[in-house]
Structure 1
Amino acid sequence: MTAPAIRHLRHLALLGLLAGALAVGAPLQAEPSDHDLARQALEQGQVLPLRTVLDKVERDYQGQVLKIEFEHEDGRFIYEIRLLQHDGHLAKLEVDATSGEVLKVKRKRR
């Protein structure tokens, strides 16, 4: 094979590798993170501030917050809050982020 033909094959191989890398790279439009979704909803006045919800939950359910998730389910914004309660139970609460109403509580012994 001649030198120009080898260069041409190398260029084709590099273009193939580049095309493959682009095809398996990051998706064109990534889903917004929970953090971004929560910030946008708060800025638009669609949800209560987390601190407001936590004050109520900590007062009513007497415990230490271990984990918080923000979700958008069935057209509703939800704070999912996990607490370690003073009696040793773990409580998982689903709270309507718009009203602060506790929708569901699951408790289990640690």
Structure 2
Amino acid sequence: MGRLMTRTLLLLVLLGGLTPAFTSDHDEALRLKQAGEILPLKTILERLQQPGQILEVELEHKQGRLVYELELLDEQGRVWEFYFDAASGEMIKKKIEN
């Protein structure tokens, strides 16, 4: 399965629009959300408060914690990367992608 398809499916799972039964990554993301160990992606998107189009979302383990990584295309055509602690919703870092 391509990376874009995988990320799209993960996004749907985290938003609650798809019942995952086909990969362990998606099952794990749903389990973490239902257990209250990570915030729903919807909550993270509300905290982002940056105009633009979401290009990609990933849930990754980084430095011992779960992190949402979002890529956003802003109104000037720049691609931004945002990193949020998946448990607390705290923005960890943002940067313009080169």
TM-score after normalising by structure 1: 0.62
Deviation at 1:75, TM superposition (A): 2.6
**RMSD over aligned Cα, in angstroms?**
1.8
Gaps of 5+ in 2: 1-22
Q: Secondary structure at the match of 1:86?
A: coil
Q: Which has the larger radius of gyration?
A: 1
| AA partner of residue 97 (structure 1) | A
- Residues matched between the structures, number: 76
Deviation at 1:32, TM superposition (A): 3.4
CA distance in structure 2 between the partners assigned to 1:108 and 1:77 by the alignment: 21
| AA partner of residue 24 (structure 2) | P
1:70 match: 59
Please, which of 60, 64, 79 is the counterpart of residue 68 of structure 2?
79
Moved over 4 A (4+): none
Deviation at 1:72, TM superposition (A): 2.0
1:32 match: 24
Alignment of 1:52 with 2:5, yes or no, is: no
Give % identity. 38
2:15 match: none
1:6 match: none
Q: Secondary structure at the match of 2:27?
A: helix
Q: Specify which structure has the bigger relative contact order, considering alpha-carbon pairs within 8 angstroms and separated by 6 or more residues.
A: 2
Q: Secondary structure at the match of 1:99?
A: coil
Deviation at 1:37, TM superposition (A): 2.1
Deviation at 1:74, TM superposition (A): 3.1
